[in-house]
Amino acid sequence: MKYKVFIVEDNQEIVELLSKALAGWGLNSDSCKNFNSVEAEIEAYSPHLVLMDINLPYYNGFFGLKKYAKIV
């Protein structure tokens, strides 16, 4: 089984670096495409781990962590 990691990061360069590093460790990853629907994207991907940036476009990552920790 390959573990799945979901990346919530608004800097695409960082997303690409993280995705490449995770793939090197044999992990699958996907990233947030629309920051207005983070919760739906996390639910749809059903990851084992979520990496979330602290500074996000519509709220901070601490708020998101409290909100989304229950859905994973």
| pLDDT number for residue 71 | 53
Order of all β-strands in the sheet with 4-8:
28-31, 4-8, 49-52
Q: Which fold has domain 4-68?
A: Rossmann fold (3.40.50)
| pLDDT number for residue 55 | 83
pTM of structure? 0.85
Domain boundaries, given as residue ranges, for the chain = 4-68
As averages over each run of 10 residues, the pLDDT of the chain (72 residues) reads 93 97 97 89 92 81 67 50
| pLDDT number for residue 48 | 93
| pLDDT number for residue 38 | 85
Sign for the pseudo-dihedral over CA of 27, 34, 43, 60: positive
